[in-house]
Structure 1
Amino acid sequence: MITLKDIKENDKFRTLIKWAAKCMEAIGYTEHGIRHCSYVSATARNILEKLHYPERVQELAAIAGYIHDIGNSVNRKNHGPSGACLAFQVLTEMGMDMDEICMITSAIGNHEE
């Protein structure tokens, strides 16, 4: 079972987050690196905890929150769908359950809606 800890330790996700932050900095946006990822991750988990969702769903929300902006490594415009595609690839390589991948990529792909 893939956890947030596994995501944080994954070299591909680390690289995507690093490049997303660089791209955002280059166009004058606020910080979008590890601090932002960690904040969104903790907030997503906290919301679902307060709503009494199962612990695994809370963990998936934390994962989605942590990697939600990796599409910024491609382009700011449509970074949600781009990020969902990137996340799908890496999560599949990591061996995550397909239902869990779909839950995460749906959240990432629609987070600007």
Structure 2
Amino acid sequence: MSIIYRTSNLNRSSKLFKYIMLYQKLRIPENYTYHCNWHILYVYEKSIEIAKNLHISKSELELVKLAAITHDIGNCVSRENHEELGCIWVRENFPLFGFTKDEIDVVCGIIMATKIPQMPTTLLQKIVADADLFYLGTNDFKAQGDLLYKELSFDSPKLNRKMWNKIQINFMNAHTYHTEYCIRKNEAKKQANLQSLLYN
């Protein structure tokens, strides 16, 4: 499927971006210390970084950006099945900004590719999937992990540090990066972060 890039795309994307960010800012639960606007922008920025190193087209980059900022929008309704809920939101709202069914299908495919366990099949899906878990292979691993622990502890008060470390170890052992860029850039640091948990 080829998507024709139009000169009006930048304007429609800019308007939609502002709408999405405001929508999430007003609706994300206060106890979401990790899955909040800063995480959305982090995934957005990392998606752009990965995409630019993989030389995708302008039209593809536009859809990657939009998928990045909507990949967790379903959390505004419920944490459970939030990817599916996000796709429902996208299908209801993107047409209002001039997006076609084919474009929306691509965005929803990317959103679903971030569902754990990640199973992306296209390059665009791999880009955002890797951006979503980019932090695993960075120096930000502990800080971001602590925010996620705090968020999950709100719903699971019995969750303690020992349990959380075990969850992280199992998760990281099962995780793989999907793009060559992240494999080269992040995998070694991810393994170092894993070792720090094993000997904590």
TM-score by length of 1: 0.80
Measure, in 1, the Cα distance between the counterparts of 2:70 and 2:38.
12
| 5+ long unaligned stretches in structure 1 | none
Q: Identify the structure with bigger relative contact order (alpha carbons < 8 Å, sequence gap 6+).
A: 1
Of 96, 99, 102, the residue aligned with 1:96 is 99
Report the RMSD for the aligned CA atoms in angstroms: 1.8
Note if contact 2:40-2:69 (Cα within 8 Å) is conserved in structure 1: yes
Deviation (angstroms), 1:17: 4.6
Measure, in 2, the Cα distance between the counterparts of 1:85 and 1:13.
17
Identity %: 26
Of 21, 44, 47, the residue aligned with 2:47 is 44
Give 1:1-113 correspondences, 5 Å limit: 1=9, 2-3=12-13, 5-10=14-19, 14-19=22-27, 21-22=28-29, 25-26=30-31, 29-112=32-115, 113=118
Deviation (angstroms), 1:18: 3.0
Larger radius of gyration: 2
Deviation (angstroms), 1:46: 1.6
Deviations 1:35-55 (A, max 9, x none): 211111111122111111112
TM-score by length of 2: 0.48
Measure, in 2, the Cα distance between the counterparts of 1:34 and 1:62.
14
